[in-house]
Amino acid sequence: MVLGSNVGDRLSYLKKACQCLKNLLPLNFQVSPVFETAPWGVRHQKGYYNLAVSATTTYGPFQLLNLFRKLERQYGRKTKGDYKPRTLDIDIILLGDVVITSEQLTIPHRNMHERKFVLAPINCISPAAMHPIYQKNIADLLKQCSDNGKIIQLNDRIFSN
């Protein structure tokens, strides 16, 4: 999953969300460094802080979606829809070899291969993770990504694995 925040104390939202996620998904829990990125698809918004989280889970995809939406609301997310500012955004990017296409959820995330702000953090913790449709790993998808948006890795990790 990839977490993002571009409203308020972005680092604090990400730290608190990581702690909650570690409590929910304690097995093989890993967190990438934080990346600062420009907002995707819009202008005139504060930049995002993004990070990736990887964990082993027994939750199903829709259970995860519901847990993540609840967590987003808990941390003040009020806006709905794409490209809106948000205190916390949690996207399920990959879930092993699961492929789902529905109105509520698409796994793998439909645009993950086109977005460095998704690929770069995941590459830090799971470079060998495979895209189940394209059959390419994250490291290769990142090398081939044509996204030229600005992305800066911050020096410190905000959450120790």
Domains of the chain and any CATH numbers: 2-153 (3.30.70.560)
Residue 147 bears catalytic tag: no
Q: What is the mean pLDDT of the chain?
A: 92
Sign of the Cα pseudo-torsion (135, 125, 112, 60, in order): positive
Q: What is the pLDDT of residues 29-85, one digit of tens each?
A: 999 999 999 887 767 788 999 999 999 999 999 999 999 999 999 998 876 666 678
At 35, the amino acid letter reads F
Question: Could you tell me the pLDDT band of residue 159, with boundaries at 50, 70 and 90?
Answer: confident
- pTM, entire model: 0.92
- The three-state secondary structure class of 139 is helix
Residue 82 bears catalytic tag: no
- CB distance 49 to 4 below 8 Å: yes
What's residue 80's pLDDT? 64
Of the candidates 91, 110, 115, 140, the residue annotated as catalytic is: 91
Residue 91 bears catalytic tag: yes
Q: What is the pLDDT of residues 92-140, one digit of tens each?
A: 999 999 999 999 999 999 999 999 999 999 999 999 999 999 999 999 9
Of the candidates 9, 43, 69, 77, the residue annotated as catalytic is: 77
Of the candidates 10, 86, 115, 140, the residue annotated as catalytic is: 86
- The CA angle 154-157-161, to the nearest 5 degrees, is 155
